[in-house]
Structure 1
Amino acid sequence: MAEQLWSDDLLERPRQQCDPLADEAVSGLFQNGQVPAANTLMKQLVANEQVLPEQLPAGLRGYFEQSGRLPPWVDLGLLRKGEELFGRYGPQIVLSLLCSSLPSCYAAAKGVQVLHLTARLETDPYRRILETSQMIIDVMAPGGLESGGLGLRSAQKVRLMHAAVRHLIRRSGQWNAEWGQPINQEDMAGTLLTFSSLILQSLKRMGCDFTPVESQAYYHAWRVVGFVMGLDERLMPTSAEEGERLMATIQIRHYRASAEGQAMTRALLEMMQHMLPGNAFDGMPATLTRYLVGDTTADLLGVPPSDWERITVGPLRMLGWVVDKKVDMKPPVVAKLVSLVGRRMLDGLVWINRGPERLPFRIPSALRESWGVQGWERA
């Protein structure tokens, strides 16, 4: 059944399909000369201010009303279990995003063309990574996906931004029809799976312990995110196991070496290295990326080869976790190491966005205290 569902023929059709609701809203703004009003709105949304219906351009009111509805199949109990898993392993999940999810997106040679054309990652990598990390924290924080939650609003904002990017790319004349539509349904499904199924796989590789119920709960939360962001429900399998099968099929279809994907990966690795303090973690982002995505994907992305002994012995000896020059990377040691690196990466996200003209990187106080991460007000 699953093999028939995820055949090449059935996945090729969604490459020509996008998001009518958001696309029509954005198209109407451009046609009616309401782009300045939309820009003001987007700034409000980025700041997560409350936006009242009378503040919206008429063409956007319907979009926000419709896209703000949760699916009829949402299970609030599962959402809360997913939030609890995030609360337990938030630093590791953010590290998985940076070292696994995003590189895996760059490995899709057709889908990565959107990032290349917008040039956001290469010219402003911090802003791109901050926005993505912030959305994950918003949607997975307690109550994030409930009515009025920050996560719900963040998902609506990203969906609208996707539509704006599609509109501008189509007008640019630089898009190759062989890539399918920009930010099409299959690419959106693949991205969602890197934020759900791939994160769960990465947590296991990191030595994190969780139950099948917790795995399904986390996956369910991201199905809700996919619904809010306009993804066709037929591309959102109900079970975490089936989600892994769809992800594997998409990887086979699209993972190829590309100059654009390698450029995105270089910029990401350089940014992560800059965010980690001192010299103790030199080479750690590339080493963890190769460990999490595997050698095949790492090679096509141009990730440098790993040297676990050289990279890890410094941090582990500094913390008193090992005393020998040889490091046996067993699951307990990996779990301790990635927990440390994840917390330091979150500290880096807070600090690199400090400044009077920048929006703070928001981490709810309960999560911040649980993770041992400094708050933005002290950054």
Structure 2
Amino acid sequence: MSYTDASMNALRLPGDELADAVVATLFERGEVGKFNTLMRYVSTVGAPLPDGLPDVARDYLQATSTPPDWVDWGEMEKARLFFIDNNVHISTALSFASMPACYVVPHVAKLLSMAHGLNYPSKRMAETGQFTVYLMQPDAFEAGSRFIPAAQKVRLLHASIRHHLKRESGWDTAALGTPICQEDMIGGQMFFSLLVLDSLHRLNIHMSTEGAEAYYYAWRVVGAMLGVDQDASPASPEEAREFLDLYMIRHMAPSEEGAHLTRQLVDLYEEVVPGTFFDPIVSALIRYLIGDTCADWLQVPRTAWDNVAKVVPTLLGVLEGIEDHSPFGAWALDRLGHLTTVFELSTLTRGRVMHYAIPEQLKKDFGVGGNVPRTHRWAPPAPTVAP
């Protein structure tokens, strides 16, 4: 598939027809509060739906209760093993590359600032981290798992934001497109898949081609479950590179909202880092992973630690070498990565389960690899030339 400005423009109007219709009906009938209350009891696959659930919501939950019929379960298992092998690095990439990349797209930063609850990065990061952990569990698509209900709720959350913003004066659809349109949903999918792999490569993490491609595939499955049009979504990392390069060229720019959200993100992780001496490493890692131009647009402060961040890939390369050649070292590092990820997620969630409820109003200010050998290491697709 080839992407052009014309084909990307065509993706700026469509949202998610199924989820949008459900949310519109819930608001029209005044059933959003009732839906949110009852959905707190729907958190695992196979659990009986509660009595009193609005019919339109019940139909939606039944229609979206299974993954796409084209899923390759062998690839999904490879993705899970890749996540186990690289969980702490993936968390680092999500925190210090994927989220800032969202903020460097002005209309996305504006949307995140306007959406009630998403103004707080701890909640946003907790939801993202919890969602990823649910996805990479061995029973993610089996009875008792939490991933599918989480995906169903996130899809409705996105539809509710579209519902609010399209009906309020704070969002210019003619200029900005439909809120969380297909182009932005695919862009988000790229931030959480290809950009994560790019960041791991930049950090000198040893990845097999099989593991990296499986991780990208898993996020294709996620995209389908979140309402992404699969006819428009990149099928391979090579197509993803073409889409992401053009998407960023089309949209990336400085914005007040992007700088504000980045400042909140930096403050959040400086609180997580013990003491204050190591605080500057947060800004330094963001700057290293997204580059000076984007970091300057987001007003990421320059510090003496910027040079320290450049040494991180060398240190990680040493640890990766130990993991490659020592079974005990691999086990110890995987265990340490797991514990670090659990600690980070528990700090962000404060031990709570995130419920992904439909917001009834928006922010008032706006009025609105595992067992896979890591040989034939993965290399990012080459940058594409802008048309």
Using the size of structure 1 for normalisation, the TM-score is: 0.82
Aligned to 1:359: 353
* Comparing 180-189 and 241-250, the one that deviates more: 241-250
**What secondary structure sits across from 2:240 in the alignment?**
helix
Find the aligned partners of 1:265 and 1:226 in 2 and give their Cα distance: 25
The answer to whether the Cα contact below 8 Å between 2:283 and 2:300 also exists between their aligned partners in 1 is yes
**What secondary structure sits across from 1:269 in the alignment?**
helix
How far is the alpha carbon of 1:65 from its aligned partner? 1.9
How far is the alpha carbon of 1:112 from its aligned partner? 2.0
In the alignment, does 2:250 pair up with 1:253?
A: yes
Aligned to 1:347: 343
The change in CA–CA distance for 1:236 and 1:335 in structure 2 (over 3 A counts) is farther
Any stretches of 5+ residues in structure 2 without a counterpart?
321-332, 356-369, 371-387
The one-letter code sitting in structure 1 at the alignment partner of 2:74 is G
Find the aligned partners of 1:143 and 1:345 in 2 and give their Cα distance: 19
Q: What CA deviation, in whole Å up to 9, does each residue of 1:103-149 have, x standing for no partner?
A: 10111112222111115344x33222211111111112223245663
The one-letter code sitting in structure 2 at the alignment partner of 1:6 is Y
Q: What CA deviation, in whole Å up to 9, does each residue of 1:42-90 have, x standing for no partner?
A: 4334688935164531011221122223223210000000000001111
* The one of 6, 14, 21 aligned to 1:9: 6
Q: What CA deviation, in whole Å up to 9, does each residue of 1:255-277 have, x standing for no partner?
A: 11111111111111110111111
* The one of 63, 71, 88 aligned to 1:91: 88
Find the aligned partners of 1:228 and 1:360 in 2 and give their Cα distance: 19
The answer to whether the Cα contact below 8 Å between 2:204 and 2:317 also exists between their aligned partners in 1 is yes
Residues 62-141 of structure 1 aligned to structure 2 (within 5 Å): 62-122=59-119, 124-141=120-137
In the alignment, does 2:40 pair up with 1:43?
A: yes
Aligned to 1:320: none
**What secondary structure sits across from 1:181 in the alignment?**
coil
Any stretches of 5+ residues in structure 1 without a counterpart?
313-326, 362-366, 368-379
Residues 330-341 of structure 1 aligned to structure 2 (within 5 Å): 331-333=314-316
In the alignment, does 2:26 pair up with 1:56?
A: no
Find the aligned partners of 2:49 and 2:306 in 1 and give their Cα distance: 55
Aligned to 1:186: 183
In the alignment, does 2:196 pair up with 1:199?
A: yes
How far is the alpha carbon of 1:308 from its aligned partner? 3.7
The change in CA–CA distance for 1:341 and 1:99 in structure 2 (over 3 A counts) is farther
The one-letter code sitting in structure 2 at the alignment partner of 1:249 is L
The answer to whether the Cα contact below 8 Å between 2:45 and 2:143 also exists between their aligned partners in 1 is no
The change in CA–CA distance for 1:182 and 1:51 in structure 2 (over 3 A counts) is farther
**What secondary structure sits across from 2:235 in the alignment?**
coil
**What secondary structure sits across from 1:16 in the alignment?**
coil
Find the aligned partners of 2:203 and 2:209 in 1 and give their Cα distance: 16
The answer to whether the Cα contact below 8 Å between 1:95 and 1:342 also exists between their aligned partners in 2 is no
The answer to whether the Cα contact below 8 Å between 1:275 and 1:345 also exists between their aligned partners in 2 is no
How far is the alpha carbon of 1:224 from its aligned partner? 0.4
The change in CA–CA distance for 1:118 and 1:99 in structure 2 (over 3 A counts) is same
**What secondary structure sits across from 1:71 in the alignment?**
coil
Q: CA RMSD, aligned part only?
A: 2.8
The change in CA–CA distance for 1:176 and 1:14 in structure 2 (over 3 A counts) is same
The change in CA–CA distance for 1:352 and 1:72 in structure 2 (over 3 A counts) is closer
The one-letter code sitting in structure 2 at the alignment partner of 1:173 is S
How far is the alpha carbon of 1:335 from its aligned partner? 6.8
The answer to whether the Cα contact below 8 Å between 2:280 and 2:305 also exists between their aligned partners in 1 is no
Find the aligned partners of 1:253 and 1:48 in 2 and give their Cα distance: 39
The change in CA–CA distance for 1:162 and 1:45 in structure 2 (over 3 A counts) is farther
In the alignment, does 2:295 pair up with 1:298?
A: yes
The change in CA–CA distance for 1:345 and 1:259 in structure 2 (over 3 A counts) is farther
The change in CA–CA distance for 1:173 and 1:334 in structure 2 (over 3 A counts) is farther
Aligned to 1:364: none
Find the aligned partners of 1:185 and 1:100 in 2 and give their Cα distance: 22
**What secondary structure sits across from 1:242 in the alignment?**
helix
User: Percent of aligned positions with the same letter in both sequences?
Assistant: 35
Residues 167-178 of structure 1 aligned to structure 2 (within 5 Å): 167-177=163-173, 178=175
Aligned to 1:153: 149
Find the aligned partners of 1:38 and 1:335 in 2 and give their Cα distance: 51
Find the aligned partners of 1:94 and 1:61 in 2 and give their Cα distance: 34
How far is the alpha carbon of 1:170 from its aligned partner? 2.3
Find the aligned partners of 1:228 and 1:201 in 2 and give their Cα distance: 24
The change in CA–CA distance for 1:335 and 1:303 in structure 2 (over 3 A counts) is farther
Find the aligned partners of 2:184 and 2:340 in 1 and give their Cα distance: 31
Q: What CA deviation, in whole Å up to 9, does each residue of 1:130-177 have, x standing for no partner?
A: 111111111122232456632222111100111111112223321112
The one-letter code sitting in structure 1 at the alignment partner of 2:226 is M
How far is the alpha carbon of 1:34 from its aligned partner? 1.3
Find the aligned partners of 1:48 and 1:351 in 2 and give their Cα distance: 26
Find the aligned partners of 1:197 and 1:99 in 2 and give their Cα distance: 14
Find the aligned partners of 2:288 and 2:339 in 1 and give their Cα distance: 19
The answer to whether the Cα contact below 8 Å between 1:45 and 1:157 also exists between their aligned partners in 2 is no
Find the aligned partners of 1:310 and 1:197 in 2 and give their Cα distance: 26
Q: How many residues align?
A: 342
The one-letter code sitting in structure 2 at the alignment partner of 1:162 is H
